């Protein structure tokens, strides 16, 4: 049995980041923020007396972490109007002598010098939906000194089949209405299924109990070597073996990024098996559930490529079924799944 899923990602409007809600969500994500803080502070030796570029600085918190780690100068580049708040925050923390906030896109600003370190929180849902990685690559090629440091420096993408029990409960709800109110509304089940499992990619928390196999890594990105051309086709195969008898009604996609350091590398994971982050997981529902048994092998390939309409649009391709995610995000994943 074969399935194809395609994921299309539309870019995020810059002024989306001018709203307080997204910044509250990111700063309140202690896993995210503390991992960045530790990743920066653990590289204190590489930071001390050096020049740092923060790509997509937002409120400037990462820039301040870099200054706290001993950076001589930090250029905090931010395109949205949240830059005004970043200026206030930098001044409030008495860092204005070392942190310079610059409004503009990375591709248009002109820095006065090359940098020793690039820091960026560029990841979006399913890793690539914001496509800020293009800006990081641009910054690396134009502004990073030879032998410079990038934080984080590695990204990985994972996939696993799941059985989303919450969806099953929601679909079964309509069959219970008659026992509660004496009105048979079971005919709503098919309509609910079309609304809920409608090829819109959802971003929500997937529990460990929902995951039906060990994760399969399908892509690696090395930020020192990845090129714009590489991002035109991020592809890979996956192979999963199911834990037991169940039904696959969706696939779950997540990512992990790594901060190199003198000691053990630090990993920020958005896996269902790791503590919750604001990225949660991306869920791709199938049109129909597929029954599997213990050790059933689920195999396929994913190919992610940019839309011709915009370099910030991303497709995950290999065929026919398209998925949509709100919040300025469209996905198209194309996954060929073969249940053996």
Catalytic residues: 121, 130
* CB-based contacts of 134, cutoff 8 Å, min separation 6: 228, 231, 311, 312
Task: Retrieve residue 205's tokens.
Answer: 């928390």
Q: CB neighbours of 158 closer than 8 A, spacing ≥ 6?
A: 215, 216, 217, 218, 253, 254, 255, 256, 271
Instruction: Tell me how many degrees the CA angle 279-26-326 measures, rounded to the nearest 5.
Output: 50
SS3 107: coil
Distance in angstroms (rounded) separating the CA atoms of residues 131 and 9 = 9
Place of tokens 């910030």: 312
Helix %, strand %, coil % for the chain, to 5?
25, 35, 35
Q: How far, in Å, CA of 83 to CA of 131, rounded?
A: 20
For 182, residues 6+ apart whose C-beta sits below 8 A from its C-beta are: none
């Amino acid at each position: 049995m074969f399935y194809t899923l395609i994921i299309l990602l539309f870019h995020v409007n810059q002024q989306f980041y001018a709203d307080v809600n997204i910044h509250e969500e990111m700063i309140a994500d202690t896993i995210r923020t503390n991992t960045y803080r530790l990743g920066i502070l653990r590289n204190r030796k590489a930071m001390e007396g050096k020049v740092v570029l923060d790509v997509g600085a937002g409120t400037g918190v990462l820039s301040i972490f870099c200054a706290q780690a001993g950076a001589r100068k930090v250029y905090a580049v931010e395109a949205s109007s949240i830059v005004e708040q970043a200026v206030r925050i930098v001044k409030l923390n008495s860092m204005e002598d070392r942190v310079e906030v610059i409004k503009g896109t990375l591709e248009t600003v002109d820095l006065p010098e090359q940098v020793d370190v690039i820091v960026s929180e560029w990841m979006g849902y399913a890793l690539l939906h914001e496509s800020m990685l293009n800006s990081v690559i641009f910054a690396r090629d134009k502004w990073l000194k030879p032998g410079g440091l990038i934080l984080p420096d590695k990204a990985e993408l994972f996939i696993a089949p799941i059985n989303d029990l919450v969806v099953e409960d929601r679909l079964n709800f309509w069959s219970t209405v008659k026992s509660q109110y004496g009105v048979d509304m079971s005919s709503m089940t098919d309509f609910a299924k079309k609304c809920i499992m409608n090829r819109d990619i959802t971003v929500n928390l997937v529990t460990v109990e929902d995951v039906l196999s060990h994760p399969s890594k399908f892509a690696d990105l090395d930020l020192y070597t990845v090129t714009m051309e590489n991002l035109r086709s991020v592809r890979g195969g996956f192979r999963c073996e199911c834990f037991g008898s169940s039904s696959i009604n969706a696939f779950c996609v997540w990512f992990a990024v790594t901060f190199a350091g003198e000691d053990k590398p630090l990993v920020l994971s958005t896996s269902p098996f790791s503590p919750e982050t604001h990225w949660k997981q991306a869920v791709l529902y199938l049109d129909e559930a597929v029954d599997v048994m213990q050790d059933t092998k689920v195999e396929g390939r994913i190919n992610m490529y940019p839309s011709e309409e915009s370099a910030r649009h991303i497709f995950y391709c290999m065929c026919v079924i398209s998925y949509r995610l709100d919040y300025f995000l469209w996905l198209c994943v194309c996954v060929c799944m073969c249940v053996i």
